[in-house]
Amino acid sequence: MDYAARDLLRAAGVGRPDWAVILGTGLGGFADALEGAISIPYEAIPGFPQSGVSGHAGRLVVGRLGKARVVALQGRAHFYEHGDAAIMRTPIETLAALGTGALILTNAAGGLRPDLAPGSVALVTDHINFSGRNPLIGETGDARFVPMVNAYDPALGARFRAAAARLDLALPDGVYMWFSGPSFETPAEVRMAHLLGADLVGMSTVPEVILARRYGLRCAALSLVTNFGAGLFDGAPSHDETRRVAAAGSANLIALLSETLREPLSESLA
Ligand code: HPA
């Protein structure tokens, strides 16, 4: 890889993080809770893509949370902004090169089950890549043949479940289906998604998890449900609604992240 981004971050004092977190729409507030934080705009980091989506700040924040060192990416670039499924390759490869133990991904998503109502938080346990795109297309060598069994790390999932229980927060599981966006799904697509085994629909996360597994990172993903899927309610999903509900409902997800990530990932974690 080109180590310019890693070297710049090391020079800025970003040591080996215990955790890395990608903060989706409306979830940037998590980074404000980090102690002794320094923040670096993406435009200052070689190879980090800008996100033009409202609700995504576009900076890396590093700081402490309890006993853990955390790097948070406040905002992500999406496939639909660039037409490049590997748009997040440099940030993710850089997080791996810094030696982070795990990558936690967050997103806003549409819910396809009654218990995945707007405002709920769900633990993603698997995904369906419905976009037909893969960030590893074009790579050569054998590292591209990435196994995706347990891509969403069961032991990390158990940590989030235990933290949710301590907070008395419901944390249903869900399978996340990636649609490219930026248009929302049709009602027929949402019915299909549910028939095929999806519980959540969204426009991010999946290419990032594929890249993260490619670079050997353990992953967990959390969805903040901002709406029922298209056709499952009167009206239509919208970006405005996504932003509004994400802002209003982000407190639970941020509390869950804070409760889970304050302890570093220990070697004893199987
Ligand atoms: N579909 C896709 N992405 C989303 C949705 C949705 O219903 N809600 C928030 N992000």
The pLDDT tens digits for 229-250 are 999 998 888 998 888 888 888 9
User: pLDDT, tens digit, for every residue of 181-202?
Assistant: 999 999 999 999 999 999 999 9
All residue ranges of the chain with pLDDT < 70 are 55-56, 267-270
Atom of ligand 1 nearest to the CA of 228: 7
Q: Which amino acid is at 19?
A: W
What's the pLDDT at 268? 46
What's the pLDDT at 270? 45
Mutate to test the pocket of ligand 1, among 242, 244, 250 (most ligand atoms within 8 A of CB): 242
245's tokens? 């509900």
Domains for the chain: give ranges and CATH numbers: 4-265 (3.40.50.1580)
List b or e across 203-234, with b for residues whose CB sees 16 or more CB atoms inside 10 angstroms: bbbbbbbbbbbbbebbbbbbbbbbbbbbebee
Check: CB of residue 196 under 8 Å from CB of residue 79: no
Check: CB of residue 199 under 8 Å from CB of residue 116: yes
259's tokens? 């409760």
Query: Which residues lie closer than 8 Å to 33 by C-beta, 6 or more apart?
Result: 65, 254, 258
DSSP secondary structure code for residue 229 in this structure: P
What's the pLDDT at 55? 65
**Containing H/E element for 74?**
strand 68-74
Strands 68-74 and 59-65: antiparallel
What's the pLDDT at 267? 46
Check: CB of residue 163 under 8 Å from CB of residue 121: no
What's the pLDDT at 124? 98
**What span, in angstroms and rounded, lies between the C-alpha atoms of 89 and 31?**
21
Question: 37 C-alpha to center of ligand 1: Å?
Answer: 31
Residue 100: other Cβ atoms inside 10 A: 24
User: pLDDT, tens digit, for every residue of 150-176?
Assistant: 999 999 999 999 999 999 999 999 999
Cα–Cα separations (whole angstroms), residue 62 to 79, 184, 251: 25, 33, 20
Ligand 1 shell residues, CB under 6 Å: 108-110, 179, 184-185, 201-203, 226-227, 229, 237, 242
172's tokens? 């249903």
What's the pLDDT at 269? 54
